Amino acid sequence: MINFIDTTINNVATEALVYIMDPKAAWATIDDCGEWPCTGPENVVVKFTGTTYGDSDLQPFDYEDFQVVADISASTISYDTCEKQDMWNAWVCQNEKINILLFESLDGDTEDRSV
């Protein structure tokens, strides 16, 4: 998760604010993620808290607190208060409950195994 706190967005076009890429098919390797691409880019949440806008002509939203989540069609359609942003390949939401649950192994071989 990436947190932006008390950020001023000034002179930034809405389409240039965020872009979350799709996982690449070439990432599908047996040693890393099995026969499907690793899903790293799908596990992205960008949280903006206390956001202000320096240029009202380029103000993308009317709210200070919002989240940007990757476009995962099976789940993002169920989020409350979210709106798809095609130019970002993501959704913008006003739902403070959206977060990331992270598990981290403390084992010595943590780089070789995953939960």
Domain boundaries, the chain: 2-93
pLDDT of residue 78: 76
Is the model's pLDDT at 37 over the cut of 60?
Answer: no
CA distances for 4 relative to 31, 65, 68, 103, 104, angstroms: 34, 10, 11, 22, 23
- How much is the pTM? 0.74
Q: What is the pLDDT of residue 107?
A: 75
Round the average pLDDT of the chain to a whole number and report it: 80
Tokens 């799908």 belong to 42
Token pair 């047996």 is found at 30
pLDDT at residue 112, as a whole number: 67
pLDDT single digits (tens) 44-82:
889 999 998 887 666 777 789 999 998 876 777 777 788
Rounded CA-CA distance 76/85 in Å is 12
